[in-house]
Amino acid sequence: MRIFFLALTLIIAPAQAANIEIALTNDRVEVDTGFAGARLILFGAVTGLDDPASVDIISVIKGPEARFQVRQMEKNNLIWTPGPAHLIESAPGLYLTYATRPIDDIAPLPLQDQHRLDADYLDIAIGAHTTADAENAGLYRSAFLSEAEALGLYRSHVGGIEFKKGALFTITARLPTNTPVGEYEVAVYLFRNGELIGSDAAALAVNRVGLERRIYDFAHQRPVSYGIFCVALSLIAGWVASLAFRK
């Protein structure tokens, strides 16, 4: 794809073969007991341009695909209860975009669709086994998108991209505290006058580490032993506490 666009730009404007490259300062984000979100810094360079500041950049950070379910709250006499679940088989667990200007001003809609530059173009299908008809499927899809935005999982930002010296720039992204673990793709797209003239991508891994990981793995891989461990620890802790306060 990159080569194709590179070739395209070469044909259209051979004098200005532009491209963009990025690197992450850290391609590993660690979720430990002190995790409270993370700041992610991307370094990049725009090459082959005389005036790099005249271009636009869009960066898309896409988390691992995950399954979700959407429920509508229904009024049941006095109280509100969640209705039946509508399954979303696959959607990015995190979807953040950073752009130099509003995306609609940078990229024409077909390109936004082609490169999934906006959450509206993501392939999010409501499970076929549900009773939702086509109209309701659209309702649940947009409900999912707005909820994901409210949870901080799907966000689009204007800004966060800073041109440094000449062709060099940085993108400062903020991963939320509920960042899912898994493999991420970080992509950047270079635009000029509504045309895509270059792109690059890098991989990022978000992992649980340390005590946080040990407890999580223990609880999920050997749940019975973990339960017995919790009881034993509680008994010991309760006993120690009773000793500490004995008169």
Partner 1 sequence: MQLYLPIAEMPVDPFVVITMGAAVGFLSGMFGVGGGFLMTPLLIFYGIPPAVAVGTESSQIVASSVSGALAHLKRKTVDFQMGGFLVAGGAAGSVIGVLIFRMLIETGQIDTLISVSYVIFLGLIGGLMLWESIRTLLRSPEDKKRQARKRRSPAWLAALPFAMRFRASALYISPIAPITLGFLVGILASMLGVGGGFIMVPAMLYILNMPTNVVVGTSLFQIIFVTAITTILHAAANQTVDIALALLLLSGGVVGAQLGVRVGVRLKAEHLRALLALLVLGVCARLLIDLALPPASFFIVDGVR
Q: Taking a C-beta distance cutoff of 8 angstroms, is the pair 104, 56 a contact?
A: no
Q: How far apart are CA 216 and CA 230, in angstroms?
A: 13
CA 130, 133, 137, 143 dihedral sign is negative
Q: How many CB atoms lie within 10 A of CB 237?
A: 10
Instruction: Using CB under 8 A, pick the residue from 27, 51, 123, 239 that binds partner 1.
Output: 239
93 lies in the site for partner 1, by CB under 8 A = yes
Q: Is 100 helix (H, G, I), strand (E, B) or coil?
A: coil
Q: How far apart are CA 15 and CA 68, in angstroms?
A: 48
Instruction: Using CB under 8 A, pick the residue from 10, 13, 38, 87 that binds partner 1.
Output: 87
Q: Beta 95-99 vs 154-158: how paired, if at all?
A: parallel
Q: How far apart are CA 40 and CA 55, in angstroms?
A: 23
Instruction: Using CB under 8 A, pick the residue from 180, 182, 195, 202 that binds partner 1.
Output: 180
Q: Which of residues 84 and 194 has its CB atom nearest to partner 1 in the complex?
A: 84
Q: Is 215 helix (H, G, I), strand (E, B) or coil?
A: helix
Of residues 37-66, which lie at the interface with partner 1 (CB under 8 A)? Answer: 66
Instruction: Using CB under 8 A, pick the residue from 11, 36, 128, 134 that binds partner 1.
Output: 36
2 lies in the site for partner 1, by CB under 8 A = no
Q: Which stretch binds partner 1 (CB under 8 A): 45-53, 102-110, 158-166, 214-222?
A: 214-222
Q: Which residues bind partner 1 (CB under 8 A)?
A: 31-36, 66-73, 78-82, 85, 87, 93, 140, 143-144, 146-148, 150-151, 177-178, 180, 211-213, 215-216, 219-220, 223-224, 226-231, 233-235, 237-239, 241-242, 244-245
